[in-house]
Amino acid sequence: MKLPQSVQLPQSLKLPRSPLSGRALTAGAVAVATLMAGGSAAGAASAAERPAAVADAPDIPVANVKAHLTQLQSIATANGGNRAHGRPGYQASLDYVRAELDAAGFTTSLQEFTASGSTGYNLIADWPGGDADQVVMSGAHLDSVTSGPGINDNGSGSSAVLETALAVARSGYQPTKHLRFAWWGAEELGLVGSSHYVDSLGSADREKISGYLNFDMIGSPNPGYFVYDDDPTIEKTFKDYFAGLGITTEIETEGDGRSDHAPFKNAGVPVGGLFSGADYRKTSAQAAEWGGTVGEPFDPCYHSSCDTTANVDDTALDRNSDAIAYAVWELSQ
Ligand code: TRP
Ligand code: CA
Ligand code: ZN
């Protein structure tokens, strides 16, 4: 028998196994299983009286994230080799991500702005429900540079955030807080889309964002595991996840403020995020921790035509995608 998605746990968590399914159980699931096993109705709290079960994040299937990357690569290939602001490859990327979200039950909207004389778009997706005064927001820039398809930069963050949103829908997750996801336009022209979004919020709406999580380059082929050290709670959430995998992380220092979290941070919103490295080179100490090639850039194809689906480390993409889901779940209930 199948437990409700909302109480399924990754196999890695050390909790008692369900006698019914062999799956690990949360406290909530233990209560449900006890009831189903014939626990007396009089002695058991009704579903309405029971405190809401703490839901654990699902494992994000990296194959699904890679399938989105394949789509973004095809879009670039069919549109002059890029997905840049103001180009048809950006529009097609937007259409792809939006259609996936709409089909999954998100409320999507486009926010227009102008950059370098062309119209740009942010895509915003809200998951219905949760406390509108406490918004947990996750985002990634969807535009590439003109010189390449932008698969690690930033198809990787875009696809992982998309798959996390789809996992929210699949699991029927109903967190205490409200979940919002964003795909930014014109990051490569100077954080234009995300700056426009933050500027467009009144101070009251900005204050409702309890955290903004940013994912820009999370599948670098010679990866490092970097965690933004901005808000301590968000930072700890990511560090805890990697500690659970036995992976050392470092603080992200390769150009602090070089991505879409910067406008949020400057407006006083708590921010955090993950990064697997761009054009800095891996040191021998880093290679000893993480493997990979000493003296080579984390991403030798950064902003180049070779930033294709071949330019992604599947393990880094998988770990970072799972870390995103973990943080979204942990920070929203
Ligand atoms: N935002 C940069 C880009 O898209 C990439 C980058 C460089 C970055 N350094 C960073 C992203 C540090 C996050 C954190 O080109
Ligand atoms: Ca995974
Ligand atoms: Zn870039």
Q: Where are the domains of the chain?
A: 60-331
Catalytic residue among 100, 187, 235, 330: 187
Residue 52 pLDDT class (50, 70, 90 cuts): low
* Strands in the chain per DSSP E: 107-115, 118-127, 131-141, 177-184, 209-215, 226-227, 250-251, 271-275
pLDDT at 42 over 80: no
Pick the CATH number of 60-331 from 3.40.190.10, 3.40.50.11540, 3.90.25.10, 3.40.630.10: 3.40.630.10
- State what percent of residues in the chain have pLDDT above 70: 84
Query: From the CA of 20, how far away is ligand 2's center (Å)?
Result: 24
Q: How many CB atoms lie within 10 A of CB 287?
A: 16
- Residue 192: name the closest of 249, 274, 120 by CA: 120
Collapsing DSSP states into helix, strand and coil, what is residue 280?
A: coil
125 and 155 Cβ atoms separated by less than 8 Å = no
For residue 236, give every residue at least 6 positions away whose Cβ sits within 8 Å of its Cβ, in sequence order, or none.
none
pLDDT, position 257: 85
- The whole-angstrom separation of Cα 93 and Cα 99 is 10
- The whole-angstrom separation of Cα 323 and Cα 333 is 16
Residue 15 pLDDT class (50, 70, 90 cuts): very low
Ligand nearest to the CA of 167: 2
- Residues with CB under 6 Å of ligand 1 are 153-154, 187-188, 216-217, 252, 254-255, 258-259, 275, 278
- The whole-angstrom separation of Cα 68 and Cα 312 is 13
pLDDT, position 255: 73
Of 38 and 202, more confident: 202
Residue to mutate, 184, 258, 301, ligand 1, most ligand atoms under 8 Å from C-beta: 258
pLDDT at 182 over 80: yes
Residue 112 annotated in active site: no
227 and 239 Cβ atoms separated by less than 8 Å = yes
Q: pTM for this one?
A: 0.87
pLDDT, position 37: 34
